[in-house]
Structures are given as structure tokens and as C-alpha cells.
Amino acid sequence: MKAVITDGKGNVKLQDIEMVRPAEYQCLCRIDACATCSGTDQKLVNSGFAWADKYPAILGHEGVGTIIECGKNVKNFKVGDRVLRPAVALPGTMYGELASWMGGFAEYGLVTDIKAVENVSPDIDPFGYTRYQQVIPADCDISNADATMLVMLKEVAGACKGANITKGHTVLVLGAGAVAQAMCFFSSFAGAKVIVAARRAEPLELCRRCGADVTVNLFYDNLEEIVMQETCGNGVDRVMDAAGNVDLAVRGANLLADGGGIASYATVEGGSFPKERISPKGSWQMLESAVPENCMHEEIIAMYNAGKLNPALFYTHKMDFAEFENGFPLLGAKKAGKIVFEM
């Protein structure tokens, strides 16, 4: 079978690897589609994370697959189920001589029936990633390409819910990629006024399509002036950082209203948020209690089934898996926002 391999030096390639086989609590999946998590994948390709220290490695974690075989002790999955986040191997583990970061860009992958494992060994400390390998209900008529977006949408919805964004809030979103667009959507859906700040006009327009009320182009707009104008000098209630740029995050945090908070979703340079540089008008807080992705599963599926959520808003390209080596560089060249590769 084929999988996407990176050497951590900026290169990706499709490579033949050994076929995966399910263990007794695992299911074998045909992976139908997998999307780029553009920031994370590009950092992994370029050795941008201290914790990702083993290469060559298999990429991909926003995938959807169909179960084609179940291990003998599987109880909660069945053949034909569509599942999220199948992977060749769990993140941080090895598949032969290959590391897995996160192992979803492949023709086949595995999911683990962690509930069945826990029934046998209640005291087990399960690998966290298996929590995210969830079944898409049969009554959810979603395309494979759109289904890949559920991974990111659940995670972002959990971040917005953890930040307690509510009607009447003004939210400043930093960045304009797919994650920022989703933040605009969920913040607007909650009834908040949304200001988004980034450096490129086209993604900012996509943020407007996803619910942003005000866009700030950092190349020529004055962020501080616009925010204070839009908030009558009070500042914003929430800052949602989807950019990971330290200086921009500091600028955003310093625009918080008294009692406001910032959620740092993106990984900032250096790995830690520079709290010592924050001095808004009043009290402020770091918002770090995001609702876990797996806990948002039913809510996001229900939103989709009710016609309240259009996953196609959040990806810009759809390509064949065989085109990966030509398609992936579009991300670094800023010619694509988020790409779904269909197997």
C-alpha cells in the first residue's frame, strides 16, 4: 500500500510500505480521504516541532475511512462503518523503520476499539488518540471530502466552547486559515461580533464568508485603532489565536477588555505563551480549558444533519491521492488553504 512519507527536511513522497494488519482490538480501514492540517503538516515536514524528532515519518490526521475488517475482540465497530482518524500507527509510535506523525495519509489504516479494551481492563491508561477514532452515524449523509473537515471542526468548536464565547461578546480572531475561518463561524454562530486580523486579502474574504463581521489586513490596517473603534474603546472579550505568531498574539492580548481572555490555539514560536508581555487595561486570563474534540462529536454531527454547518467552506482544493507530491507544495506557496486528498 502507499503512504505519504516525509524526511523532515521539507520533502514529501508517496512510498510503498508494508500493508497494515489489525490486532484483536483493531479494525482495518480503507482510507477514503484525508485533509491537510496545513500548519501542523508543514511544521512536521520541516522538523518544526521539538517532540517530532524521528524521521522518516508518515503524515496525516484529518482522515475518514471505511472499516473492511474487524479484529476478533472488536465490539463497538462493524464492517461498513465510516470512522474518523484511521492511522497506519498511533502518533509517536513506529511502524517498522517509519515514525507516525500521525499516520493517516495512506491507503489503509487502523482504528482501535478502546471501549472494548476498557471493558476487559478497566484500569488501562489508553492512548489518547484512540478517543478520536469515532464512527460517523449511518444517518449522516456526508461526502468523504466534507467528512475530513469534521476533525478540525470538532476541535475548533471545542476551543470556542471552552472559551465560553457567548452572545454579546466581541471576539478577535488572529489568522485567516481554515482554523481561523472555523473560529469565525462558531463565534458568529454563538452570537458574538467577530473581528479577524491577518495578512492576506483572499483568506480574510473567506473569513467573512464564514461569519466575520470586520476584517483587518495587517499589511495596511491599524489593528489597535480598528478594534477600539469597533468596541467603543472597551477592547475585545475574547482573543482566539490561530496564527501562532508571538508578536501578533501579544498585540491581540493587549486589546482585551477588563476580564477578557485569550485562547492560544496555534503553537507559538518557542512553545510557550509570553504572559510577561501582556498588559491590557484590566484583568485578563489564559483560556486553556477547551472541550475535547471527541466530546463535540454528536453536537457537530447534529449541526451538519440540521443544515447548520457546511464543511465545504473550510477547504480550498480537492485532489487525487496520487497527486500528493505535486499538491502539497501548494500549501507552502500559499496557493491553497486546505487540501483534501481522496484515495
Task: Provide the CATH number for the domain around residue 202.
Answer: 3.40.50.720
Query: Are 118 and 208 in the same domain?
Result: no
Spell out the residues 6+ positions from residue 13 whose beta carbon is closer than 8 angstroms to its own: 4, 5, 6, 325
pLDDT at 76: 96
Residues 147 and 27 in one domain: yes
Q: Judge whether 331 lies within some domain.
A: yes
Residues pairing with 216 in the sheet: 197
216/336 same-domain check: no
CA–CA–CA angle 16, 80, 125 (5° rounding): 75
One domain, residues 12 and 135: yes
Q: Which residue has the cell 469597533?
A: 230
- Is residue 20, in this structure, part of any structural domain at all? yes
pTM for this prediction = 0.94
Domain interval for residue 321: 2-151+292-342
Partners of residue 14 on adjacent β-strands: 4
**CA 27 to the chain's CA centroid:** 24
Give residue 128's pLDDT: 82
Alpha carbon separation from 255 to 23, 188, 197, 275, 332 (Å, rounded)? 52, 19, 13, 14, 30
CA-wise closest residue to 16 among 96, 94, 82, 81: 96
For the chain, how many structural domains are there in total? 2
pLDDT digits (tens, 9 = 90+) for 165-206: 999 999 999 999 999 999 999 999 999 999 999 999 999 999
Q: What is the pLDDT of residues 236-267, one digit of tens each?
A: 999 999 998 999 999 999 999 999 999 988 86
